[in-house]
Amino acid sequence: MTNNGFTRRGALKAATGLLGAGLALPSSQALAGVPRSEGYAQVPGGKIYWRKFGAGGKTPLLTLHGGPGSSHQYLLPLQALADERPVIFYDQLGCGRADAPEEDSAYSIQRSVDEVDAVRAALGLDRVVLLGHSWGALLAVEYLCQGRGAGVERLVLSGAMASIPQVIAGFERLFATMPNGWGDKIHALEKAGKTGTPEYAELVQAFYDNFVLRVPPTPEVVATLEALAKSPAYRVLNGPNEFTIVGKIKDWDRRKDLKAITQPTLITTGEFDEVTLDCHETLRDGVAGRARLAVMAGCSHLTMNEKPERYNALLRGFMNEA
């Protein structure tokens, strides 16, 4: 696996030192009595690992994690919502505890979309609230644009986009906001093939600290970064590093097809999200269903880890609306 440049994986070294700080999910003790189950399900290409929390009568929440290539752990703050409804997490193929074929052909947007249907069928999820974060939001948008929305009652899109070219353009604008000629320096190092140098890592860590995660990472975030470091899906779908999106998703663009999304939709982002505000506004203005955009002050890309109580309150209010 190519890993010459800094990506979200690069935060692992810094994050691991924080494991002894006693950071934990705020909902863990409160949910001690909530029913939970886990298992594996067959999907196109292999088996995925799933976890289910809660057994309430309200429509289940099915979550799609980001990456591509991470795992479900960083989304675990959403366990707090299992007091009202089932909350389902799963590791996509090539991620976490799922099978991880090494063949490039095993990974594509279409296979990942088909995987959502396979997971719903395996777990009997006829009705769902569908939540996608980052790459998971891409999957949710693609899923619904393909007309697979039967039984999807509501949609939550976080750190989301309708177009990878629009995301890349946003990256460049963020580069320009960084001080001391940051953008020129990082592009010069990339052009010179010096993405494996300490200087490059330091520059991109500064971007990460501003636009991806603005608080010390919890053990769940660290576990996700460990999964990302091992996943072949990142290289195949995204590319060699965070800023060089040359993988299979590079040309994905559904901006013209968003009217296919008719579900009530909550769109969330952070004030400093690496996926820029215009990407979220495109979704809000493009979908046919009633849509609301919530910008979380002081947050970046991993809003559910930076301010989990606020994030869950947004979701709970939206899912319980008449």
Q: Which residue among 134, 158, 231, 300 is the active-site one?
A: 134
Closest CA to 241 of 195, 186, 174: 195
Would you call 273 a catalytic residue per the annotation?
A: yes
- Tell me the sheet residues that pair with 48: 41
Closest CA to 164 of 133, 135, 207: 135
Closest CA to 81 of 322, 321, 320: 320
- Tell me the sheet residues that pair with 156: 131, 266
Cβ count within 10 A of residue 105: 9
**Cα–Cα distance between 53 and 37 in angstroms, integer?**
7
Closest CA to 31 of 91, 78, 90: 78
Q: Which residue among 65, 72, 280, 301 is the active-site one?
A: 301
- Tell me the sheet residues that pair with 39: 50
**Cα–Cα distance between 63 and 58 in angstroms, integer?**
15
Would you call 163 a catalytic residue per the annotation?
A: no
Q: H or E element: which one contains 164?
A: helix 164-177
Q: How far is CA 193 from the centre of its chain?
A: 29
Closest CA to 303 of 278, 279, 267: 267
- Tell me the sheet residues that pair with 62: 88, 130
Q: 69: left (phi > 0), else alpha (psi -120 to 50), else beta? A: left
In SS3 terms, 167-179 reads as: HHHHHHHHHHHCC
The residues that are catalytic are 134, 273, 301
